[in-house]
Amino acid sequence: MESNASQTTPVLLGEDLRYTYPSGGRDRFTLELDRVEIRAGQHTACIGPSGCGKSTLLRLLTGIITPDRGSVTLDGRAIGSAPASERRAVRISRVGMVFQQFALLDYLSAMDNILVPYRVSGALRLDREARSRARQLAGELGIGTLLRRRPGRLSQGEKQRVAVCRALVTRPRLIVCDEPTGNLDPARSRSTIGLIVREAEASGATVLLVTHDHSLLDVFSQVIDLGSASGEDR
């Protein structure tokens, strides 16, 4: 992947990465990549067949797990070998994440789930503006009337949209999504990706997204294909 001279410091950089999961048995899987570079403001999609390591790569690049070998730098900070508490603090303050299984809290309303980042970080201030932004995002994603419901009363698609709102509400520097449209119909998928990209552009954020839906790739300036372990700039 070529560097852009005006953006000399990548938001995400992984070099000489190797990760084996699990540690043994027939299901042993190893992900190896020489270099992954995602520049500031870039919108990157990660594709490849099931089991090739797409979700593992996202977890490595955001410090949820650490590599067996190699280095990971997130927004200028080396996190590949940092303590778990430091990696978590970086994620909360710099990264908005949408997980495959949504990671919503069953005992909270949709609104309170969206605002969870403000509850777990002293660096974020939960004020009227934050609540207003949460309502705005929910309205744009068609769940504005569902904010008092708990996850048990939401469909899979509605839960997914709550998770997207939570990822965007803090205006993070990096937005990371693991199959954010997997439970949505084609029209809703494209509108959701459009919202993620618009919000990223408005705040100068960078996007890294895993998807199986190749019809969405025209939105992205870079595609990392783990099926061929290479990146292609567009």
- CA 33 distance to own-chain centroid: 19
d(CA 123, CA 72): 23
Q: What pLDDT, in 10s, does the model give residues 196-228?
A: 888 888 888 899 999 988 888 999 999 999 987
Residue 17 forms part of a structural domain? no
If one counts the domains in the chain, the total is: 1
Q: Is the pLDDT of residue 5 over 50?
A: no
By percentage, how much of the chain surpasses pLDDT 70? Answer: 90
Helix segments in the chain, DSSP class H: 54-61, 84-94, 110-114, 116-120, 128-140, 156-168, 186-203
Whether pTM > 0.75 for this model: the answer is yes
CATH number for the domain spanning 110: value is 3.40.50.300
Q: What pLDDT, in 10s, does the model give residues 113-129?
A: 999 999 887 778 899 99
DSSP 29-72: EEEEEEEEEE-TT-EEEEE-STTSSHHHHHHHHTTSS--SEEEE
Q: In the prediction, which pLDDT does 230 show?
A: 47
d(CA 23, CA 76): 30
Domain that holds residue 132: 40-53+92-233
Residue 175: pLDDT band by 50, 70, 90 thresholds?
very high
d(CA 148, CA 110): 6
Give 145's DSSP letter: G
Higher pLDDT, 186 or 8: 186
Residue 8 forms part of a structural domain? no
Residue 165 forms part of a structural domain? yes
Give the pair of three-digit tokens for residue 111.
């609104």
- What's the rounded mean pLDDT across residues 1-5? 38
By percentage, how much of the chain surpasses pLDDT 90? Answer: 50
Please give the mean pLDDT across all residues of the chain. Answer: 87
Residue 129 forms part of a structural domain? yes
Residue 65 forms part of a structural domain? no
Residue 191 forms part of a structural domain? yes
